[in-house]
Structure 1
Amino acid sequence: MANILVVDDELGIRDLLSEILNDEGHHVDLAENAGQARIACRDNAYDLVLLDIWMPDTDGVSLLKEWQLSGQLVMPVIMMSGHATIDTAVEATRIGAFSFLEKPITLQKLLKSVHQALEKQQAAETPVAVAATAQRVMAAEPSSDAVLAGGQTMIRAIPREEFLPEPHQGFDLDRPLREARDDFEKAYFEFHLAREGGSMTRVAEKTGLERTHLYRKLRQLGVELGKRRSTR
């Protein structure tokens, strides 16, 4: 799951992108102008920003340049516009934008661009994480079996199995993320439906979803909506 910020002055665009990205398992924050986007990026760390070019207070290209000059452009930014010229798209890319999406944005192009941007971000973060882990291992106090004659030390080769987490009871984690997430969500909603006696109103309140979104999600997951006895 990624933390994504959507910046667009059109409510319909914000709602649509939020719904699509939430369905993909991402956490989405929304901003309707550059001012709100500045505050959001100041208070949160995002893996990706979807940024509209034409906004009433500050245009997206100017905000992108501001982030680049201040050293805040540490995440991929996908620019969006229905009226931008090729020159505008080229300028945004030169400043540091990852890609450009022309409105109306198709579902396929959106998901492809988001997937590519997140892959790039993950690849950029991996060497940093590996270096930090190596530094912690080197700085750790050596165990008694790592001390050699003459006071020299060595780092024990740690078997790969010691890094692997214990399997999660009830879920097969050795498969694509989307399949594992669907099974978890199905079990999650079935649990709450049983607990609330099949009441969609109480399940919607408990899970924080709109009723229409909840119905759509349950149908998508293949959850049966028959009468259930409460487990309370």
Structure 2
Amino acid sequence: MARILVVDDEIGIRELLSEILYDEGHTVELAENAAQARAARLRARPDLVLLDIWMPDTDGVSLLKEWGSQGLLDMPVIMMSGHATVDTAVEATRIGAVDFLEKPITLQKLLKSIAAGLARPVLSPSLAAAARLPERRPETGQPLVTTPAPEAAEPQAKDTGNSLLGSIALDQPLRDARDEFERIYFEYHLGRENHSMTRVSEKTGLERTHLYRKLKQLGIDSSRKKSS
């Protein structure tokens, strides 16, 4: 499960991508312009960004450059557009985008690109530059050659025979185990916040619409319990 920021000025695109990503188990944050995207990026680093190129205030390529110059481009960014040229796509990937999707985006291409982006390590420009520079001796400025330390033996995994995580059976399909975990997770937050959907939405990072849909999908009663 990843936290994905979707940046697009078209509400229909935002809602469609949000529903698809939510159904795949991701947490989704939405931004309709560059200003909202900046604020979201400063609040917390997303695991991946879907960024539209053509937006009314600042275009996606300019925002990508801005993040790169500020050292904030330390997450995979996938560009999207229905009107971009090949040169624009090339420029975006040169700046740091990991992929480019042409609208209308097919479900298969979207999920494949996201999976590849999440599996790809991304360094910030400053870290990437530092990784390429060898350490130097302060007195001479010459590269410092060090003898690598011997690799420590990896600890061997032990089979304890325990197929339970709390009350969740681990020998069942992933989707079923995830549903059990999410049911426990949401019931915990509903109880803790006295079934206040506003506070539960804030705690879990889900929009209220998605939260209601998720609770219904899991068979959880979201109504506030009346005291007898």
Q: What is the TM-score with the length of structure 1 in the denominator?
A: 0.64
Report if the CA contact (8 A) 2:163-2:170 is conserved: no
* Paired position in structure 1 for 2:204: none
* Paired position in structure 2 for 1:214: 213
Q: Aligned-residue CA RMSD in angstroms? A: 3.9
Aligned ranges 1:115-126 → 2 under 5 Å: 115-121=115-121
What percentage of aligned pairs have identical amino acids?
59
Report if the CA contact (8 A) 2:99-2:113 is conserved: yes
* Paired position in structure 1 for 2:12: 12
Change (3 A) 1:91 1:158: closer
Whole-Å Cα distance in 1 between the matches of residues 79 and 179 of structure 2? 30
* Paired position in structure 1 for 2:170: 173
Whole-Å Cα distance in 2 between the matches of residues 156 and 112 of structure 1? 35
1:124-157 Cα distance to aligned partner (Å, 9 max, x none): 7xxxxxxxxxxxxxxxxxxxxxxxxxxxxxx998
What's the offset of the Cα at 1:8? 0.5
* Paired position in structure 2 for 1:112: 112
Change (3 A) 1:159 1:29: same
Change (3 A) 1:160 1:15: same
Aligned ranges 1:3-82 → 2 under 5 Å: 3-82=3-82
Whole-Å Cα distance in 2 between the matches of residues 97 and 14 of structure 1? 19
Whole-Å Cα distance in 2 between the matches of residues 164 and 61 of structure 1? 51
What's the offset of the Cα at 1:210? 4.3
* Paired position in structure 2 for 1:148: none
Whole-Å Cα distance in 2 between the matches of residues 157 and 5 of structure 1? 36
Aligned residues: 185
Whole-Å Cα distance in 2 between the matches of residues 174 and 215 of structure 1? 24
Report if the CA contact (8 A) 2:7-2:32 is conserved: yes
What's the offset of the Cα at 1:24? 1.0
Which structure's residues are more often helix, by fraction?
A: 1
Whole-Å Cα distance in 2 between the matches of residues 18 and 2 of structure 1? 13
What's the offset of the Cα at 1:98? 0.5
Whole-Å Cα distance in 2 between the matches of residues 82 and 107 of structure 1? 15
Whole-Å Cα distance in 1 between the matches of residues 52 and 89 of structure 2? 12
1:23-61 Cα distance to aligned partner (Å, 9 max, x none): 111111111111111111011111100000000011000
Change (3 A) 1:108 1:179: farther
Report if the CA contact (8 A) 2:3-2:26 is conserved: yes
Stretches of structure 2 lacking an aligned partner (at least 5 in a row): 124-151, 189-194, 202-207, 220-225
* Paired position in structure 2 for 1:88: 88
Whole-Å Cα distance in 1 between the matches of residues 46 and 214 of structure 2? 30
What's the offset of the Cα at 1:82? 0.5
Asked which structure has the greater RCO (Cα within 8 Å, sep 6+), the reply is: 2
Deviating beyond 2 angstroms after TM superposition, the runs of 4 or more aligned structure 1 residues are 155-167, 169-180, 182-189, 204-211, 213-218
What's the offset of the Cα at 1:161? 3.6
Paired amino acid for 2:93: T
Change (3 A) 1:210 1:71: closer
Change (3 A) 1:214 1:72: closer
Secondary structure of the equivalent of 1:160? coil
Secondary structure of the equivalent of 1:49? strand
What's the offset of the Cα at 1:120? 1.1
Secondary structure of the equivalent of 1:74? coil
The structure with more radius of gyration = 1
Whole-Å Cα distance in 2 between the matches of residues 78 and 57 of structure 1? 19
Stretches of structure 1 lacking an aligned partner (at least 5 in a row): 125-154, 193-201, 224-229
